[in-house]
Amino acid sequence: MSYPTDRKYTKEHEWITADGAIGITSHAQDSLGDIVFVELPKVGTEISSGKTFGTVESVKAVSDLYAPVSGTVTAVNESLATAPEQVNKDAHGAWMLKIKIKDPAEMNALLSAADYEKFASEEAGH
């Protein structure tokens, strides 16, 4: 699996673009299976790096979503409320929320696409 190189990744399987769009990776989506519900914060909510900001519910389990960096929520992908399966169809295209990044330097601590691919592959036992 190759991951888009225009974003950074976390070991909790979230991605973030330079402009603050956040979603989950295809690896996470594959692990979860069919996603049936996404719970996200409201616009204006402050999120903190490494802390949970919402949940993803699949037919298998409920998983927490972790903020890759700190910031303020500027937009929420409202279409996921009625069509959470968008994440299954295109995990890297279906952003969940957008934030105004508080400290862009926090991005430096995240994984590159190549590093994330290696991490995900090791975690999967390949």
| CATH at 88 | 2.40.50.100
Among 3, 6, 58, smallest CA distance to 30 is for: 58
Residue 119 is assigned to a structural domain of this protein = no
b vs e for 26-49, b when ≥16 Cβ sit within 10 Å of the residue's Cβ? bbbbebbeebeebbbbeeeeebeb
Residue 116 lies in a domain: no
84 falls within a domain = yes
Higher pLDDT: 75 or 124? It is 75
d(CA 113, CA 83): 27
- Identify the three-state secondary structure at position 108: helix
31 in any annotated domain: yes
* Structural domain contains residue 109: no
Structurally, how many domains does the chain consist of? 1
> Model confidence over 4-38: pLDDT tens digits?
999 999 999 999 999 999 999 999 999 999 999 99
Decide if 121 is inside a domain. Answer: no
Residue 54 within a domain = yes
Look at residue 113 and tell me if it is in a domain.
no
Q: What is the predicted pLDDT for the residue at 74? A: 98
Residue 54 identity: G
Nearest Cα to Cα of residue 38 among 13, 60, 57: 57
pTM of full prediction above 0.85: yes
Q: Is the pLDDT of residue 39 over 90?
A: yes
pLDDT of residue 30: 92
Q: How confident is the model at residue 121 (pLDDT cuts 50, 70, 90)?
A: very high
| Residue 75 domain boundaries | 7-103
